[in-house]
Amino acid sequence: MARRPPIVSVVALVSFALGWFVSSSLIHLSPSPNSLTSTSQSIIVSSAGIQCPVCKSCPNRPLTPCVSESSVAPYLLKKHAIVAEQLKAHMLRARSQFTEPSTDRVHPALIDLLPSESASILQKPVLPPVLQHGIRVASFNIRNFVEPWEIRKAAIARQLRATHADFIGLQELRVLPDQSMGQLEQLAQLLPEYRFTHFQAAQTLSGEIIEGLGILSKHPLEHIESLAINPHPQLSSDTNARVCLRVDLDIPKLGRVEVFVAHLSFDAGEQCRQIAQVSHWMESTWQSTRASQILLGDFNVYFDFEWSIDPLTARSRDAKDFLASPLNPCAAAYSQQFPFHLPEHSFIDAWLSFVAQLDRRESRDNPGITYPAMHNIATADSCRPDRILLRSDTLHVHHARRFGFLPFDDDGTELPPGRSGFFASDHLGVLVDFVAPQ
């Protein structure tokens, strides 16, 4: 997963909550009555000296088109960035209290910040069985051939087998020119229960290395197709070619399910354009079939920029009005070439849907962070790039879980949380159970 230069953030949960709060505040912002004047727009000057216009004629909906040239969005984004940087600087000073400088060992205090599932699905056999009237899907970015691949490969296979998933979407798979089998084929050898596989190339890197997406499935793959998402160097800092892969599954008692696997750009503007392309592609099939759609993968979404994915999951009328307006931070990335139309039927973010079913304390302790994995949680921004989204008239979220927490030593033996060792990937995997009413 290509990233911006990491900035230390030990207390990842606080940073994640901050990003969510400011994003929510932007959509639901209401001006104070004291800030309104007799003019159609008044200007509030913050303590940071940033001008923020407020609309008088629509005090309850200040982000409607009557604020045609508003700087509300840039104002809050800049304010958010300042607060986030201050928080990270403060956490940097405390880093030595949590991580031994000469090792990658994580202090047990950080383990306590994680939900109980961090003990791993391999250690705690509490993963519920796959229901007969449901489907379990998983997503995992395996971090290509980063060494030690042979040891990591065995760990990845163990983790994937332990999920008991019906369908697994993989990102950052590579095929080397001097090897007879690519990473997907190597994993499939270790996982014979996944009889149906498919690799979709996205780009050819230097040295004729091919990178792309992969699928492991217990069900036959039907109607396989892909959407090439080419980079736009003049608009983006990311020159990697991307691809979205679609397959159809015929699931007993569920019928047809369309599954889309993606690995999107790390560049914010490019990410906005790619979501627009993928959304348009998915919308065309949704309008004709109304078959359940699952979109999963590494979306490269940062805690401070959720705007690219928000149009897919927005449900309230106010949120949709804002996202369809020029105030949306993604608006500058859209154009005649990359138009965006809000989908008629929104997606559900499976992790958030599951967490909403938990009690308040459990919900607070489950932000769903998937990057970075435990071995470098103290040295990089924490975020939730790995997601599984659902659009369906019949299916709903029954269970969600992450996997890949535990380190292992050089012979593949798993170690307790907090110990130094290798990790299956720099990402955590995500799995979700979708079920239909009985």
d(CA 311, CA 355): 20
Tokens of 112: 């306590």
Query: What is the model's pLDDT at position 224?
Result: 97
**Terminal CA-to-CA distance of the chain, rounded, Å?**
40
Query: What is the model's pLDDT at position 381?
Result: 63
Least confident of 44-58, 162-176, 289-303: 44-58
Does residue 35 surpass a pLDDT of 60?
no
With cut-offs at 50, 70 and 90, classify the pLDDT of residue 275: very high
Mean pLDDT, rounded, for 162-182: 93
| Residue listed under structure tokens 């205090």 | 109
Q: Quickly count: other Cβ atoms within 10 Å of residue 119's Cβ.
A: 16
Do residues 202 and 175 touch, judged by C-beta distance below 8 A? no
pTM for the predicted model, two decimal places: 0.75
DSSP code, position 101: T
Q: Which of 49-53, 113-117, 288-292 has the highest mean pLDDT?
A: 288-292
| Residue listed under structure tokens 């403060």 | 90
Query: What is the model's pLDDT at position 82?
Result: 58
Does residue 294 surpass a pLDDT of 90?
yes
Least confident of 268-272, 323-327, 380-384: 380-384
Write phi, then psi, for 25 (nearest 5 degrees). Answer: -65, -35
Query: What is the model's pLDDT at position 177?
Result: 86
Please give the domain boundaries of the chain with CATH numbers for all domains.
Answer: 12-97 (no CATH), 110-435 (3.60.10.10)
**H, E, C per residue of 118-187:** HHCCCCCCCCCCCCCCEEEEEEEECCCCCCCHHHHHHHHHHHHHHHCCCEEEEEEEEECCCCCCCHHHHH
Mean pLDDT, rounded, for 420-431: 87
Higher pLDDT, 12 or 283: 283
Closest CA to 431 of 206, 216, 123, 187: 216
d(CA 141, CA 136): 17
Does residue 44 surpass a pLDDT of 50?
no
Element (H, E) at 228: strand 222-229
Do residues 361 and 330 touch, judged by C-beta distance below 8 A? no
Please report, rounded to a whole number, the percentage of residues in the chain having pLDDT higher than 90: 36
Query: What is the model's pLDDT at position 258?
Result: 98
Task: Annotate 170-202 with b (16+ C-beta within 10 A) or e (fewer).
Answer: bbbbbbeeeeeebbbebbbeebeebebbbbbbb
Does residue 376 surpass a pLDDT of 70?
no
Closest CA to 177 of 132, 209, 150: 209
Strands (E), 252-354: 255-263, 292-298, 348-349
